[in-house]
Amino acid sequence: MTDAAAAPAAPLPMFYKNPVPLEPARHAQAGLKPEVDFRFAANTNAIPLTASEMPHAARTYPIVFSINAPTVPFAVVGLRDNENLFVNAEGVWRDDSYIPAYVRRYPFIFSEVPESQRLVLCIDEAAANFEANSSQPLFADGKPTEGLQRALQFNETFQAHYMDTRNFGEWLDKNNMLEDRTARADLGGGQTFTLRGFKLLNPDRARALEDAQVLELHKKGWLALLHFHLQSLQNWGLLGHLTRTRTAAKPS
């Protein structure tokens, strides 16, 4: 009799290495370091967004849509793989740039309980700012502190917005509004970068929407998001500028 092969583990969400359910017994003294350090987000060039964030993110980042289901928007934060142009070597996010909620919720995350619709709040024990023994623990007398309650509320809001975002993406897919695209950035000196593997709104299909579809988008609060998405594509030039600046600053 041979042993059955183990099922492959589901891939962990971006940034997370060891998320475990928050429990008073396990995390009675655990907490987070007060210093804000975004180096955990330095090695990616795209970060998921919720639909509600698109008006804010569109001021700084090109917003694209994932090529694979579920269709969700992403903020492009770098032209090269594994490079976030908005996080410096000290872990500081670039001034006056919107920080996506996906980043701000870290190291917390909701996880679905197997065979249940219930969600449980988890914390990534591998996070650099996680402390097993903290002067400001997440629990006091077995109950969540005010800081943990704020984290729970933030993650509940994020989860609700994420579900609305998935519905928005499904609507775009159902109505064939997106198309595979590439982007090319000119870095000067004959050097260019070409990005692939994402989708953008087809403006011609958007203009051809029927009145009933436009009304549906408006009532769901999604109509303006199409305009913010298109507006955001003007930010490719900023990424090119930041890439040139970072490349020039590196020692030769």
Q: What is the DSSP string of 11-25?
A: PPPTT-S-EEE--TT
pLDDT of residue 3: 39
- Mean pLDDT for the chain? 91
pLDDT of residue 112: 80
Q: 91, 43 in Cβ contact below 8 A?
A: no
Nearest to 109 by CA among 12, 19, 24, 15: 19
Confidence (pTM): 0.91
Q: 182-222: per-residue pLDDT in tens? A: 887 776 666 777 788 899 999 999 999 999 999 999 999 99
Alpha helix ranges (H) inside 38-145 = 54-57, 101-104
For residue 10, pLDDT over 90 is answered with: no
For residue 225, pLDDT over 80 is answered with: yes
- Scan for tokens 């900023």, then name that residue: 238
pLDDT of residue 196: 84
- The strand pairing partners of 111, in sequence order, are 120
Determine the average pLDDT of the residues in 122-138: 96
For residue 151, pLDDT over 80 is answered with: yes
Q: 64-121: per-residue pLDDT in tens? A: 999 999 999 999 999 988 999 999 999 999 999 999 999 999 999 999 876 667 899 9
pLDDT of residue 248: 79
pLDDT of residue 189: 66
